[in-house]
Structure 1
């Protein structure tokens, strides 16, 4: 696979992950469980999520909408119509999302591979009254959420790298022509 194909795959991968995430959040907003019980939240927030607290329902609608925007941003990095979007804006969004999601997956912000491993090995034991739940959620995060956010973050970073490599001197028309040439 050529470098250009990998970069395009990153953009389409970011869009696909946004669709998957947005679909789950939309399902939750409409009342489905859709892995809500596997969300690594502190117990009091988890309870609010599972009892469909209005704030959580509203947040799911917002996140579903943000996922739609994410799909459009990811596609803007590879589709001809995206040449009309300011390159610096796309760079800022793709790199910010890529770094945030990779950081989340690693566990610098609490959850992620590092945080989950610390809970599961007992190095950072959870409160005794929630120990079993914390270990269950850490396993789910370690096997599902952290890899998903790592993949999504790498896709965003790859899409951002493609934009960066195109260079700021490339005109919108040149980018549109180049993107149209690779439609295949």
Structure 2
């Protein structure tokens, strides 16, 4: 009996995390506030988000739609009927999304472990008028969002690696 292809877990993980993230964004687009106040945003943008500014509502709808597209891409990477979509295109999408998410989790894009750690250790002082909020959001990002994006990005890169091998 052949050994199961463990790299398939990457695609299933990417799809499951797309569902989780997309569900949260859809709920927020519909008016829920779960975790909305934990987004690592500047205070002005955070206030607009919590006030349900139309731009932020629209962005939640767009992110929910992108999550649906992510589920489709992840499942296309697994199925034989994905032959209608060029493998190189799927591989490029998986690698690009995966690297972007890993970069976000590490802190290359400003958020992530590096940015949070420098703020929490005092190497990068928070804005004095929002110091407590900045520290709270850094903790949320360090303990929730960065690991989430690291896991999600890893799932996407494993899926891209699997497509390269097949």
TM-score of the two chains, using structure 2 as the length reference: 0.97
Deviations 1:104-158 (A, max 9, x none): 0000111101110000001001110011000000000000000000000000000
Alignment of 1:28 onto 2:33: no
Alignment of 1:123 onto 2:127: no
> What is the CA–CA distance in structure 2 between the aligned matches of 1:161 and 1:64, rounded to whole Å?
26
**Aligned ranges for residues 10-21 of structure 1 at < 5 Å?**
10-21=10-21
> What is the CA–CA distance in structure 2 between the aligned matches of 1:82 and 1:144, rounded to whole Å?
33
Q: Which has the larger radius of gyration?
A: 1
Deviations 1:35-59 (A, max 9, x none): 0000000000000000000000000
Q: Secondary structure at the match of 1:137?
A: helix
| Dislocated runs of 4+, deviation >2 Å | 2-6
> What is the CA–CA distance in structure 1 between the aligned matches of 2:129 and 2:59, rounded to whole Å?
28
Q: Which residue of 2 aligns with 1:145?
A: 145
Q: Which runs of 5+ in 1 are unaligned?
A: 167-184
**Aligned ranges for residues 1-16 of structure 1 at < 5 Å?**
5-16=5-16
- Cα distance 1:3–1:56, how it changes in 2: closer, same or farther (>3 A)? farther
Q: Which runs of 5+ in 2 are unaligned?
A: none
> What is the CA–CA distance in structure 2 between the aligned matches of 1:83 and 1:34, rounded to whole Å?
39
Deviations 1:48-86 (A, max 9, x none): 000000000000000000000000000100122222211
**Aligned ranges for residues 54-93 of structure 1 at < 5 Å?**
54-93=54-93
> What is the CA–CA distance in structure 2 between the aligned matches of 1:3 and 1:50, rounded to whole Å?
49
> What is the CA–CA distance in structure 2 between the aligned matches of 1:162 and 1:110, rounded to whole Å?
30
Q: Which residue of 2 aligns with 1:165?
A: 165
Q: Let me know the Cα RMSD of the aligned residues.
A: 1.2
